[in-house]
Structure 1
Amino acid sequence: MTSAAGDAVDAFTPEDLTVALLLGSLVLVVAVVAVRLSLRSGLPSLLIYLGLGLALGESGLGIRYDSEQLTQSLGYAALVLILVEGGITTRWSGIRASVAPAAVLATVGVAVSVGVVGVVAHLVLGWSWEVSLLIGAVVASTDAAAVFSVLRRVPLPRRVSGMLEAESGFNDAPVVLLVTALAAQLAPGQEAEPWWRLLGTAGLELAGGTVVGLLVGWVGARVLRVVATTSSALFAIGVLSVAVLAYAAADSVHTSGFIACYLAALLLGNLDLPHRPSVVGFATAVGWLAQIGLFVLLGLLASPSGFADQVVPALVVGAVVLLLARPLSVVVSCTPFRIGWRVQAFLSWAGLRGAVPVVLATVPVTAGTPGVSWMFDLVFVLVVVFTLIQAPTLPWVARRLGLDAAHHQVDLAVDATPLSDLGADLLEIDVGPQSRIGGVRVFELRLPPGANVALVVRDGGSFVPRDLDVLRHGDQLLVVAPAGVRRQVERRFHLVSRGGRLAEWAGGPDPDRRRARPPGRPAVRRHDPDAPD
């Protein structure tokens, strides 16, 4: 007995497999090489991956691909993996102070942005209210992949980078719900629901997804601890599987799977599970693979012949998002938390759009919304143009606003040495051009007992430092610290970076918090780019 599906399977021969593997492996190799170009140019690698997809598509090598339904399904799968990677690699200590404003920015801020874009698009471009609000919802979400990519190379204070990380992890869920609801209402035969019912439904789904994500993450962590094996690779697979399970479990009960998988991954990544370096390394690799596949797929789906007609509308909508909607949403969301104007200005400029809006642009088509086939081309052009404008200028904007961190701290995943079994952490510290660590001798860092600068990388070479060696700007330090004093080591580097060798001897208070002031004493203003203005 044969069928159409069986014929299609039989038609895929070993020769076809060879061609698919050849093209796929070449794309991955070029994508890996492109990361170096991305780091040098300051552009997110997503643009290069989109270019690869366009080069392979109908206007390049001639590969024909036009399935919005498959793109949406694969796009959602890739977004799940990207969010899981973001949750696992995010330290709770780095975003704890930023969770509340980031959550408001991902909900109230999204609503403000959708409203502003909808009003301007209706008045300036003449679109109907329904279509204007739909396009506002599609472009409302910042992209986790783009944000995480930029944060890897822009040294920012922890509060600022934490807010961007948390927002990009949170805002996909409400935006997906909003776009799906608006697109469904525009489909033939559907009646429009009142706005308050839409908001109520979205709130319930987000709350349900939050509960499911935290529950699955907590139960999964307990199970993984019990069945943990000596194989770090198998354990890493188990951790990612639990996070993906959170998405499926939440979506199956009609709650937000995106918020569930992100929160489950965030919980798993901060419970000090064994084999953390291997888990982080595996999650990062899977996240990169998902990004590459997603952006190449979106490039394949795009049709350059339709770009020209959408350039002007894309520029109008993008300008509204960048110069009006995003700043207003930041002001509304962050002002109640007494976040200073410099941080708000940077957050306004750093709202990068990427794969999420492009994937969401396929939702109206798959939902049967009539007359919106142009939306994918518009969003594609918008993302490319404004990524070219925003991403390369972010380091300059951070410096002009005084928000570039004097030193940059990076976690390293080391597999060759089982540091987790030894109860130790390995940190990388980049000494920036304005850091007062430059000129300080190693012993003057006064690190907590057990913590040592194990290696200094300088001018292309490296050496094991002695106590009297002087650190310089541009040095990269590898610091080994017992897990119990990691926080003290981080705090000590912040203090020395700001105060130099005469920084408080005992380690002092957390630099992210304001010093308590005795009653009656006037406040002394300190230059702290991370503090509210």
Structure 2
Amino acid sequence: MTHSIELGLLVGAVVLLTAILAVRFTSRVGIPALLAYLAIGLALQALIRFDDAQLARNVGLTALALILAEGGLTTRWDDVRQYVPAGLALATVGVLVSTAGTAAAVHVVFGGSWRLDLLVGAILAPTDAAAVFSLLRRVRLPRRLAGVLEVESGLNDAPAVLLVTLLSESTDRAPLALVGLIGYELVVGAGIGLLIARLTALQLRRLALPASGLYPLAVLATAVACYALATLAQASGFLAIYVGALVLGNARLPHRPATRGFAEGVAWLAQITVFVILGLLVTPSGLPREIVPALIIGAALLLLARPASVVASIGTLRVIAAVWRTLPLRRSNTQPRFADKPRRRTVPIDLLDLREQAFVSWAGLRGAVPIVLATIPVTQRVPASDRILALVFVLVVIYTIVQGPTLPAAARLLRVVAPSEPTDLDVEAAPLEEMDADVLQLRIPEGSRLHGVEVFELRLPRGAAVTLVVRDGQSFVPTPETQLRRGDSLLIVTTARARAETERRLRAVSRRGKLAAWYGDRGT
């Protein structure tokens, strides 16, 4: 007993280091890291006996909250704001349609009660935020597609948790009361996150903390406080922490790069912890019999329920857009074609085309979220809940292997890859924050109209400049007459105020060439 604490610390350190090394290995061979974490948990069953479903549920929900906090802190509002309607539709209408479609498949396979079927459907409905954020780091997607997936993964946990919790309860509620409860939890949760984050951001801008490391702690503590207060108020803690983190991540706070790095490290630790614990919780002997049902139900989810949910969500937005056009008080568009600022859309809804809908359907990645949600009926002692947990575990493992490695190929097949999209580049050693500046990197792909354009012909806005070009492995500082070529990588420094206009101009020139403005392409 004397060395029990030290032994526990040693085991924890070894598990963490093994998981970190597993990330390196899985990233090189293209296997999702969550499979390695689950394997570590299963292997530890030979040394550790763990069957506390309540503890696994609490740890899992806390880990999901931290992962959502990291997602909110690293999301740029300017990049996703116009895609919020599509993401919100997928997180609400999409979750409901996916739940119903999957429940129908479960009913065909098992033939049980519809309540249990809907429970399984609700557990499998949400996409996994960590998996989606990892996808966005590996596959360079168009801004619209990345924004929709990002918003959906950040928002759909809250409705799914509500559905799973309500379906796990033994008490029956009237439909009207149920709708009112869900509305209360979502609205109040979002309001709490917005209010607390705004107040904290205001105070942090005025305070001068004695150490830079205190700012990341303050930001993350505020996000966790949003989750806790919303939960205590019987509202959606997941929505509160995501909205709060989104507000804090886009506020002009000191030491933002350090805050993002700290939040990313915490999210990695949360992922490792929850997957290892879930691997410890499941019973390996009960997994083989769930392989065939998992294959059937997963195929229905992947090929029927998920595409139907995407189509239904976009269809709902089309109806909303059509209704919006009939409103007599909508804002008219009188801006001239070649105005300095881009024209506002008459209908503020950005819809996905068929290729993008197909990719969103295939990119509905499942991960820790369904497995964590499957622990809720176990703690509520729902009949057959142990089998539900085993089924969900097997399904997530199988379809992570199927979906994860195929996403880059699917993006290329559907022609939704955007290699010329400028992306963030973190430079920690430079005082960019004090200069109110951002650094972007851009690679000129095959077929881009940037090929042959001279630097001065980019006509970047005031406050932006191409500072470095890497060509054939050699870097040099360009002159205004330097002609860009396909395969070049550019380093662009821009003020924060000019960033959005810089990105729009680069997109426009990449599509239409140096005369993009003459053709009316504003890069939106």
TM-score exceeds 0.5: yes
- In 2: Cα distance, 1:120 partner to 1:202 partner: 25
Q: 1:53 aligns with which of 25, 29, 41?
A: 41
TM-score when normalising by structure 2: 0.88
Aligned to 1:411: 424
Aligned: 1:202 with 2:182 = yes
Q: Shift in Å at residue 437 of structure 1?
A: 3.0
Q: Tell me which of 128, 137, 140 is aligned to 2:125.
A: 140
8 Å contact 1:406–1:434 — kept in the other structure? no
Q: What is the match of residue 160 of structure 1?
A: 145
Q: 1:482 to 1:295 in 2, by over 3 A?
A: same
- Residues 1:511 and 2:499 aligned together: no
For the Cα contact (< 8 Å) 2:512–2:521, is it kept in 1? no
Counterpart secondary structure, 2:443:
strand
Q: Residue 12 of structure 2 is aligned with which of 2, 20, 24?
A: 24
Amino acid at match of 2:17: V
Partner in structure 2 of residue 432 of structure 1: 445
Post-superposition offset of 1:94? 1.1
Does residue 1:83 correspond to 2:95, yes or no?
no
Q: State the 1:439 CA deviation.
A: 4.6
AA partner of residue 467 (structure 2): A
Task: Report the CA distance between 1:508 and its aligned residue.
Answer: 6.5
| 1:176 pairs with one of 161, 165, 180 | 161
Q: How far did 1:466 drift?
A: 4.2
For residues 388 and 486 of structure 2, what CA distance do their matches in structure 1 show? 48
TM-score, scaled relative to structure 1: 0.87
RMSD over aligned CA atoms reads 2.1
Does the CA-based 8 Å contact 2:469-2:490 persist in structure 1? yes
Q: Gapped runs of 5+ residues in structure 1?
A: 1-10, 186-190, 513-533
How far the C-alpha of 1:216 sits from its partner, in A, is 0.9
The CA distance in 2 between the partners of 1:110 and 1:413, in whole Å, is: 35
Residue of structure 1 in register with 2:363 after alignment: 350
Distance in 2 between residues matched to 1:161 and 1:116, nearest whole Å: 25
Checking the alignment, whether the CA contact within 8 Å between 2:505 and 2:523 is kept in structure 1 is no
Match of 2:244 in 1: 264
- Give the superposition deviation at 1:270: 1.2
Deviation at 1:271, TM superposition (A): 1.8
Question: What is the match of residue 354 of structure 2?
Answer: 341
Deviations 1:11-55 (A, max 9, x none): 4x4x33333333333333333333333433333322222222223
CA distance in 2, matches of 1:452, 1:293: 43
- Matched AA of 2:217: I
2:386 to 353, 373, 377: 373
Give distance in 2, aligned partners of 1:19 and 1:489.
Answer: 54
Range 361-370 or range 442-451, more displaced: 442-451
Q: Distance in 2 between matches of 1:57 and 1:51?
A: 10
CA spacing shift, 1:497–1:18, aligned 2, 3 Å:
farther
Per the alignment, residue 128 of structure 1 pairs with 113
Deviation at 1:462, TM superposition (A): 4.1
Alignment partner, residue 56 of structure 2: 71
Question: Whole-Å Cα distance in 2 between the matches of residues 433 and 45 of structure 1?
Answer: 31
Determine if contact 1:146/1:352 at 8 Å carries over to the other structure: yes
Within 2, Cα distance between the matches of 1:280 and 1:474? 30
**Cα distance change, pair 436–23 in 1 and its aligned pair in 2 (3 A):** farther
Query: One-letter code of the match for 1:273?
Result: L
Q: 1:148 Cα deviation (Å)?
A: 0.3
For structure 1, which segment, 103-112 or 27-36, has the greater mean C-alpha deviation from structure 2 after superposition? 27-36
After superposing on structure 2, the runs of 4+ consecutive aligned residues of structure 1 that deviate more than 6 Å are none
Alpha-carbon distance between aligned partners in 1 of 2:221 and 2:59, rounded to the nearest angstrom = 17
SS at match of 1:481: strand
Equivalent in the alignment of 2:513: 500
Structure 2 gaps of 5+ residues are 319-350
Distance in structure 2 (CA, Å) of the matches to 1:195 and 1:294: 34
Q: 1:33 aligns with which of 12, 15, 21?
A: 21
Q: Cα deviations across residues 345-383 of structure 1 (Å, max 9, x unaligned)?
A: 111111111100000111111012133211111111111
Identity %: 52
Q: Partner residue of 1:529?
A: none
For residues 100-499 of structure 1, what are the structure 2 equivalents within 5 Å? 100-185=85-170, 191-229=171-209, 231-335=211-315, 336-337=317-318, 338-457=351-470, 462-499=475-512
Counterpart of 1:112, as a letter, is: V
Q: CA shift at 1:457, angstroms?
A: 4.4
Shift of 1:501: 4.1
CA contact (8 A) 2:516 2:522 kept: no
CA distance in 2, matches of 1:230, 1:429: 37
Instruction: Give the C-alpha shift of residue 489 in structure 1.
Output: 1.4
- 8 Å Cα contact 2:26/2:32 also seen in 1: yes
Using a 3 Å threshold, how does the CA distance of structure 1 residues 24 and 445 change in structure 2: closer, same or farther? farther
CA distance in 2, matches of 1:43, 1:457: 31
Taking the aligned partners of 2:266 and 2:156, their CA distance within structure 1 comes to 21
Instruction: For 1:472 and 1:46, locate their aligned partners in 2 and report how far apart those are by CA, in whole Å.
Output: 39
Residue 95 (1) aligns with residue 80 (2):
yes
**Cα shift at 1:219:** 1.2
3-state DSSP of counterpart to 1:407: coil
Q: How many residues align?
A: 491
Does the 8 Å contact 2:76/2:249 carry over to 1?
A: yes
C-alpha separation in 1, matches of 2:49 and 2:445: 48
Shift of 1:232: 2.5
Deviations 1:306-332 (A, max 9, x none): 110111111121111111111111111
Q: What SS class does the counterpart of residue 404 from structure 2 fall into?
A: helix
Contact 1:147 1:352 in 2 (8 A): yes
The 8 Å contact of residues 109 and 293 in structure 2, kept in 1 or not, is answered as no
**Separation (CA, whole Å) in 2 of partners of 1:119 and 1:399:** 32
Task: Write the distance in 1 (CA, Å) between the matches of 2:423 and 2:34.
Answer: 22
Q: Distance in 1 between matches of 2:284 and 2:11?
A: 21
Q: Is the 8 A contact 1:228 1:235 kept in 2?
A: no
Q: Structure 1 pair 38/97, CA: closer, same or farther in 2 (3 Å)?
A: farther
